[in-house]
Amino acid sequence: MSAPTHTVPARSGRAVPLPAGATLEIINPTGDQVVDTWALCPPDLDEHLSMEHTRTALGRLVPRVGDTLVSDRRRPLLTLAADTSPGVHDTLIAACDVARYRLLGCVDHHDNCHDNFHHALREIDLAPPPVLPAPLNLFMNVPWSADGELTFAAPPARPGDHVQLRAEVDLVVVLSACPQDILPVNGRHLTPTEIHYRVTTP
């Protein structure tokens, strides 16, 4: 398990090829940093990790350790193999984008997970699909109430908390260190940070 640790700089994204059987460990250095996460099935990037199909398969809003997440064709793609955090993640909220920050009052350009997804795929010479899939928002804290109200809250994870995702098929995983600094999505200090990851093969 001496796989090298890689860094995704604050406010940016990376695409990580993940062969079947390999495990991706995603580390939250501060505990406060949300990681927007996608998985795609090359060569057909129209097949991707799907939050609505995963909720349907699990009968649950948020996956737990042992759960297998599925594609929009209901194929098992990733298993949540380990999670040292309190298990608070989000499957409900869209990735941030230029339009989102404009609605939040930004006049100038704002880094965003939509663009990070596109840049990350282009860096490894893949053409992004025309529609951005809904992300798995690791460490994101969006509590729901009994009557369905949603709140954007600070993550309850601790420094160094990490999750492990095991690939059930050959995948490309895209990670974005979410640059949200207007809502407390990335902690009360509104300071997005880098994230770390490690790939281990069996």
Q: Which residues bind a second copy (CB under 8 A)?
A: 46, 48, 50-53, 55-57, 59-62, 72-74, 92-94, 97, 99-100, 103, 129-134, 144, 146, 148-151
Q: What is the DSSP letter of 119?
A: H
Q: Minimum Å distance from CB 5 to a second copy? A: 31
Q: Smaller CB distance to a second copy: residue 38 or 197?
A: 38
Q: Smaller CB distance to a second copy: residue 30 or 85?
A: 85
**∠ CA(19), CA(24), CA(25), 5° rounding?**
170
Q: Smaller CB distance to a second copy: residue 123 or 144?
A: 144
Q: Minimum Å distance from CB 95 to a second copy? A: 8
Q: Minimum Å distance from CB 101 to a second copy? A: 10
Q: Minimum Å distance from CB 166 to a second copy? A: 21
Q: Smaller CB distance to a second copy: residue 2 or 145?
A: 145
CB 138 within 8 A of CB 35: yes
Q: Minimum Å distance from CB 188 to a second copy? A: 19
Beta strand 195-200 with 44-48: parallel, antiparallel or unpaired?
A: unpaired
Q: Minimum Å distance from CB 132 to a second copy? A: 7
From the number of C-beta atoms within 10 Å of its C-beta (0-12, 13-18, 19+), residue 88 rates as: middle
Q: Smaller CB distance to a second copy: residue 4 or 148?
A: 148
Q: Smaller CB distance to a second copy: residue 124 or 150?
A: 150
**∠ CA(103), CA(111), CA(173), 5° rounding?**
115
CB 121 within 8 A of CB 128: yes
